[in-house]
Chains A and B, each alone.
Chain A
Amino acid sequence: QVQLVESGGGVVQPGKSLRLSCAASGFTFTSYAMHWVRQAPGKGLDWVAVISYDGDDKYYADSVRGRFSISRDNSKNTLYLEMNSLRAEDTSVYYCARDPTPIPRHYFDSWGQGTLVTVSS
């Protein structure tokens, strides 16, 4: 079955960097676009970024554009989120989520369990 497992979360100081990973299994990773979605403690869901099946197309939320970078390694079935210049307001559980087609249709048919990122001094 489809499995998405995030890792890389933790406590980081403001201004520092962190890289999240999402290991995919149970499906043909190269056939799907992928997203990152986050959720601050006690708050609603907030979309972060999407990448097409081949990595050629990427879109970002205004709040992270220029600081975060989404990428994928199809040879490793892994999605990444490189987060730079982290701010307190980036504190969230970060979920990776699968889009149902290679080119994004912008909905999410499978989700990981999430990894918590805490930005604090």
Chain B
Amino acid sequence: QSVLTQPPSVSAAPGQKVTISCSGSSSNIDNNYVSWYQQLPGTAPKLLIYDNNKRFSGIPDRFSGSKSGTSATLGITGLQTGDEADYYCVTWDSSLSAVVFGGGTKLTVL
């Protein structure tokens, strides 16, 4: 069971918008930066968002991140079939002195 909670799956139609939530606690999300990763099938993960809301180099502005209290959210607009992937949130947990991952969310673009 992951320290950070993500929905197992989300879906939306091409061109639509989707949000993926990541819920944690005061020892992790509330007091540390959150990053988000995309993992396409059969490939290594790729950094999308760091420091809660900063897009990594080369990431289109269709991807956005936000944080409020003990929760973070990844938003993707203008969905494309190429966005079908697993998405993970990550942060540091000050109580565990460990990096913690969300369980991952599988995005399906219908």
Contact = CB atoms under 8 A, between A and B. Distances in A.
Contacts of B33: 105-107
Given A95-B44, A111-B46, A45 B39 contact: yes
Given A107-B90, A108-B35, A47 B45 contact: no
A13 B62 CA distance: 46
Nearest to A105: B33
A50 B100 CA distance: 12
B37 A45 contact: yes
A106 B51 CA distance: 10
B99 A44 contact: no
Interface residues of B, number: 26
Given A95-B44, A107-B35, A108-B47, A45 B88 contact: yes
A112 B44 CA distance: 7
Given A50-B99, A62-B98, A44 B47 contact: no
Instruction: Tell me if A's interface is mostly helix, strand, loop or mixed.
Output: loop
A114 B45 CA distance: 10
B104 A45 contact: yes
Contacts of B2: 44
Nearest to A63: B98
A107 B47 contact: yes
A109 interface: yes
A59 interface: yes
Given A45-B88, A114-B44, A106 B103 contact: no
User: Which of A45, A60, A61, A62 gathers the greatest number of chain B CB atoms within 10 Å?
Assistant: A45
B101 A47 contact: yes
A106 B50 CA distance: 10
B53 interface: no
A106 B35 CA distance: 9
Contacts of A105: 33
